[in-house]
Structure 1
C-alpha cells in the first residue's frame, strides 16, 4: 500500500507543474512565477532581513532574521497575501527554520537557543542558550537536531562545528563534532541526515556529513568543495544539489550534485560542465531535473535542466527578480514543497470501497485531515468534529463523484497518507 500511495502522490504532483516563489532578501519582497516563466516581482513585502523561504500545504513561510519573525502567506491566483505572523524573541536573530506537521522550529543565531512555534495555538517558546551560533535545524517525532558553527566574533574564525540533539521540548541532550561551519540539515531518501558544512570560505572547503539518527554518529562524508550553504533534494531523481558561487576562491559558479541514496558525487567544485552564470547563490530548489538558482549579485533567477543519464547541464533561461534574491521555494497545487518534501507515514482507511462513511486511523494523534483527488486538488478539509484522537471520519458530500481519493492526515510531527475508493 505504501509504495502504491507514493507512486500515486508522485503522479498527481507531476500533473501540475509548480509555481516558484523567490525570496528577495535585499529588497525584502517576494516574487512569483509560473513554471519556467519570468516571475512577477515584488508582489508583497516581508519583514526585515529575510533569510529563508519554505512552501507546503499551509502556504508560504518566510523567516526574517532582522525582525525576528516567521510569516505565513497564502497564494490566490497571481496574488500573495499575509495570513499570520509569529514573533520570536527580540534580538535573537533567527537563522534557519524547519516545519513539520503543525510545528515550526527556528535556530536563534545570536541568543544561542531555538524557537518553537505551535501553529495551531500560536504559542511561541524559546530555549535558553546551549551553543554558539546555531544555524541549521531539523525535527522529527523523536528529536530536534541543531548545527552550531562556533564562530568567534572577534577573530572571525570557526571552531569545530557541532550537531546537537534536543528533546522535542527543546532540552539539550548531547552533541557530536561535525566539520567546519555546519549549516542546513536535510533528510535524505534513506532517512539519514545530511549536513552541509560550508567551510571557512578561504582554506577549508565544503563537505556534506551523513549522520545516522539511531546511533547519532557520522557514517559518511561527501567532499563537494567550494563553499556550499544550502541543499535541495530532488525527490523524483533522488539527487541532492547545492551551489558554490563566489564564496571564497574555489568552486565559483558551480552546481554541485550527488546521489542521495548511494552518496556518489556527480559534480563537485572541480568538475567540468557544471558552471553557472549567476553568482552569490545561496538557496536553490529542484524538481524532476529542473533547478532554480537565485543570484544575489545579479538579482536574477537562473533555470537549468540536468539530464540524469548523461549528467549534462542545460541552461534554460535567466529572469530578473526583485533586489538580492537569497532563496526560492516551489509551490504545487497541492501545496507540497519539493525542496522539503516530507516522508509520508501509511495510514489505515476502511472500508474500501465504501459508500457512506470511512474511518481513518493513524499511528499518531490527528490534528488536520484533507481529502484530495488524484490530480492533487483538495476536495475537502475534514471538520474538527470529524477528528478524535488518532481517528477521523469522512462522509463525502452528496455531489462528490465515485472515484479514488487520497487522504492526508497531519499530526504534530508526522504526516500520513492513504488511498480509498468511494462508490455511490
Structure 2
C-alpha cells in the first residue's frame, strides 16, 4: 500500500440511489436496508462511501475522514474505523447515524500511522516514522500505549494473545523485512520470524487460526506466507508473483487483489497452492472484501469499485466512487 501525499480539494456529493434509508446522507424515517454494508475510503477525497447490497443503494461521501486515510476496518456491528496518516488520527463512525464521527483518538503527531488490527479488545496501529506500535482502547476517551520496535513497522495482525508486526524496507535502509512478535498483554517482544523483504500486509484469520503475511519488492516476486502464530513458524508459502494486496476470505478459500499495479485476483489455500489467477481486466485491484462468493474490489485508477462473482469468475457491476482514489474497503455487519 502506498501512502498518498497529495490532497485534492473536492466538492463532496451526497447521492442516494434506489430506496431511501436512514443513512448518514439521508436520515429519514426508514431504517438502513438489511444486511451488511460495504464501506471504502477515497484516498484523494478524504471521505468514505457506503454501499448497501440488499437495496443496491450507494451513498457517496457519507463521512469525511482525516487527511490521507490509509486503512479501514469494522471492529464490531454497526461501527467502522478509519485511520488517517497525515493527521495521525483514528476516527470511529456509527453506520446508522448522521455523517459526523462518533469519536476519535489522536496518535502522536508526525508518527505516520500506517495499518491497524482489531483483536476484540484493543486496536493495534503501526507508527511507521517513529518505529512504534500503538495499543488503543477503542472507546471515547480511551488510552493509547506505545511500544518501541525496530524500524519500518507497517503491517500488523493481532490474535488477541500475540501481535505480529511486519517490517518494510523503507524509510530505514538497515531494516528490510521480517516479522516482530509481541505479547499482546505486555507489549514485550517474543521473538521474530524471518521472511522475504518488505512485509506489506498481515492478516489473522480466526476461522483457521493462521496468519497470512504478504511480501513483495514490487519486482514480480509477490509471496504469501502462512504462519502458525503459536509456533511462530511458516508452514506454507504461496508464490503469487506480482504485488498482491491484503488477503481476505472468499467463499471457501482466500483471495488477494493484485494491488495497485494489477487487476488480477489471486485465489489460494493455506496448503501453499495458488489455485488461480484471474485477470479481471481492470488496471488495479487495490482492496478486496467478500460477502460469500461476491467480491467488492477497489480500482483507484478508474475511481470505481467493481463487483465480481468469484465462483463464476465474472464481473457483475461497477460502483462509481464519490471521490478520487478508492483504496481500503471493508464490510460492516448491521
- TM bucket (normalised to shorter chain) is 0.7 to 0.9
The counterpart of 2:239, out of the listed 223, 227, 247, is 223
Structure 1, unpaired ranges of 5+: 1-14, 269-273, 334-424
The counterpart of 2:115, out of the listed 88, 96, 106, is 96
Equivalence for 1:175: 192
Equivalence for 1:74: 94
Matched, 1:136 2:155: yes
Residue 16 of structure 1 contacts residue 332 of structure 1 at CA under 8 Å; is this kept in 2?
A: no
- Deviation of 1:136 (Å): 1.2
The counterpart of 1:147, out of the listed 138, 142, 166, is 166
Residue 75 of structure 1 contacts residue 81 of structure 1 at CA under 8 Å; is this kept in 2?
A: no
- Deviation of 1:229 (Å): 2.3
**Any idea what the Cα deviations from partners look like across 1:151-207, whole Å, max 9, x if unmatched?**
3567xxx9641111112232223212111211221223321111111x1112x5110
SS in 2 for 1:39: strand
TM-score (norm 1): 0.66
Query: Superposition pairs for residues 209-248 of structure 1, below 5 Å?
Result: 209-234=225-250, 237-245=251-259, 247=261
The counterpart of 2:38, out of the listed 13, 16, 20, is 20
Matches of 1:184 and 1:246, distance apart in 2:
14
SS in 2 for 1:76: coil
Residue 265 of structure 2 contacts residue 285 of structure 2 at CA under 8 Å; is this kept in 1?
A: no
Equivalenced residues, count = 296
Equivalence for 2:316: 316
The counterpart of 2:145, out of the listed 107, 110, 125, is 125
TM-score (norm 2): 0.83
The counterpart of 1:195, out of the listed 213, 229, 237, is 213
The counterpart of 2:132, out of the listed 98, 107, 113, is 113
Equivalence for 1:325: 326
The counterpart of 1:51, out of the listed 31, 46, 70, is 70
- Deviation of 1:115 (Å): 0.7
How well do the aligned residues superpose, as a CA RMSD in angstroms? 2.1
**Highest Rg: 1 or 2?**
1
- Deviation of 1:224 (Å): 1.0
SS in 1 for 2:283: coil
Structure 2, unpaired ranges of 5+: 1-32
Change (3 A) 1:152 1:89: closer
Change (3 A) 1:201 1:76: same
Equivalence for 1:353: none
- Deviation of 1:44 (Å): 1.9
- Deviation of 1:17 (Å): 3.3
Equivalence for 1:374: none
Equivalence for 2:203: 186
Residue 203 of structure 2 contacts residue 212 of structure 2 at CA under 8 Å; is this kept in 1?
A: yes
Matches of 1:20 and 1:277, distance apart in 2:
22
**Any idea what the Cα deviations from partners look like across 1:366-408, whole Å, max 9, x if unmatched?**
xxxxxxxxxxxxxxxxxxxxxxxxxxxxxxxxxxxxxxxxxxx
Query: Superposition pairs for residues 274-313 of structure 1, below 5 Å?
Result: 274-307=278-311, 312-313=312-313
SS in 2 for 1:298: coil
Matched, 1:207 2:211: no
